[in-house]
A and B are shown apart, each in its own frame.
Chain A
């Protein structure tokens, strides 16, 4: 028995040696049994690192209605400062973007439209006039972009905007739908990435083929977009005249390497084991290649949830998600080793008894990995937890 345990420990050691983790700290200062924080957002952009400060956004109902909050941890601080409320009325799915030098931009859905604010110092501004939701942000080559799902007749469609920052207020410089034609079915959950060459990639969920398929489009200038292409290389359709195809949802994107973009999403091509985490890469040709399964064999026969990819210009790339392979929801990650995703590793403080789920992550300029997740322990209050990892 001891020999088997030693063997298992030796087998696990190389994977676990990759990251050295800080102590986890709690982000949300107000908790309660009937307070429900959420980290869900388009492109799962709930954490960003600006200078040496960490910003985390979320939504919770402590005030009786869903409101969005931002908490900052300055680099020298051990704890997060008390959060500030971003919204005035019902707020959902906030995202945060690093602007550099300790500044952040946050965006969110409030009362059916998209709002944004720069912190510190800025005030909230409304970015959309029509009904819009599921906003996400990206920056690169000195420009800031937003994408959201905007009502266009019967369905929502994806709009990409270039934002202007003046006097600490974000405004819309240009806003264009990815496709000029009216949507024929629902579009939503956009993800944005600005590659090293300044080009913009947008991916989203699309139902035009009568099932949910992540589509992707590219633009050199953020104004004119290429015709949408499928992110998935899995060809599915109706089976014997039944249904329309398997589902894939919640695409996330990250700029990666000198000119590349990486994508990760939830995919139900193996429809008997729930959603799996799949990835694809565009090395700079503005075309995504073969799909790769991210989770390892130990996670294969169960559902994965809440997947996200984070990358940086040096080529680091990490996928995070949660699954229940060890009996309860834990947060898992997989490093890209240049050829494949490595064996899955649990985030130590986000594993074990209770439910640790809904991870969001960011890589900072030094390559450190910042992970935030929800921690639920039975009937107790839900905590938002944060930990940072450095490569050994």
Chain B
């Protein structure tokens, strides 16, 4: 039993290290696994595009994703995907194209990390938001995405109205 616990603990440590810098304690998975899970569950995807060693990612993890209620909200309602901005790890886009995680940055026109991307369960982009964000910001984005407001309004229009 102890051996099993040790192996499980080592696996968690390895998974955490291999994924670089997602916030601890969240069930982030790779792009392909997250897309498959979203298609099965019907939940939208919350894609965290981070960089290994990124200070603002670290800041967001510590200041924002440490919030227990936010963790519960996002874990329950999204398939959580972490992508490493400089990784050569491969992923397959909904189109069927296979690219690297780093190449996804070029496709998203990423200019800074962290970059947060909300996707439909089919992998279509809803909105992408760069930089440090607060707990309240992520609550607002959640309402915008899961409330379906993105079908009628831009995020700025939605936030301006604070509906």
Q: Which residues of A are in contact with B by a Cβ distance under 8 Å? A: 34, 36, 38, 40, 61, 66, 92, 133-134, 154, 188-189, 205, 207, 209-212, 238-240, 242-247, 249-250, 268, 271-274, 302-303, 305-306, 324, 357
Contact = CB atoms under 8 A, between A and B. Distances in A.
Nearest to B113: A271
Given A211-B53, A212-B53, A247-B52, A306 B106 contact: yes
Contact of B53 (A40, A92, A210, A306): A210
Q: Is the interface of A mostly helix, strand, loop or mixed?
A: loop
Nearest to A357: B106
Interface stretch (B1-9, B75-83, B94-102): B94-102
Contacts of A66: 98
Contact of A40 (B55, B62, B85, B100): B100
Contacts of B96: 34, 36, 61
Contact of A243 (B54, B90, B95): B54
Nearest to A301: B111
Nearest to A36: B97
Contacts, number: 82
Interface residues of B, number: 29
Given A36-B96, A61-B96, A274-B110, A242 B86 contact: no
A271 B53 CA distance: 12
B43 interface: no
Contacts of A92: 90
Given A34-B95, A154-B14, A247 B58 contact: no
Contact of B112 (A40, A240, A274): A274
Given A66-B98, A242-B59, A247 B109 contact: no
B88 interface: yes
Given A34-B95, A34-B96, A303-B110, A243 B53 contact: yes
Contacts of A303: 106, 109-111
Contact of A242 (B58, B85, B102, B109): B58
B86 A247 contact: yes
B19 to A, nearest CB: 12
A205 B100 CA distance: 15
A153 to B, nearest CB: 11
B54 A272 contact: no
Interface string B47-73: 000011111111100100000000000
Contacts of B14: 154
B103 interface: yes
Contact of A134 (B58, B88, B106, B109): B88
A357 B105 CA distance: 14
Interface string B94-137: 01111110110010011111000000000000000000000000
Contact of B55 (A133, A188, A212, A243): A243
Interface in B114-163: none
Contacts of B90: 92
Nearest to A93: B88
Nearest to B111: A274
A188 B88 contact: yes
A315 B113 CA distance: 37
B24 to A, nearest CB: 15
B62 A212 contact: no
Nearest to A243: B55
25 contacts: A34-B95, A36-B95, A36-B96, A38-B98, A40-B103, A92-B90, A133-B88, A189-B88, A207-B52, A209-B53, A211-B51, A212-B53, A238-B55, A240-B55, A242-B55, A242-B56, A242-B58, A243-B53, A244-B53, A246-B53, A247-B51, A247-B53, A247-B86, A303-B110, A303-B111
A242 B57 CA distance: 9
Nearest to B63: A242
Nearest to B54: A243
Contacts of B58: 242-243
Contacts of A38: 98-99
Max count, chain B CB within 10 A of own CB: residue among A243, A271, A303:
A243
Contacts of B112: 271-272, 274
Of B54, B62, B99, most A-chain CB atoms within 10 Å: B54
Contacts of A210: 52-53
Contacts of A302: 111
Contacts of B106: 303, 305-306, 357
A40 B103 CA distance: 9
A344 B13 CA distance: 45
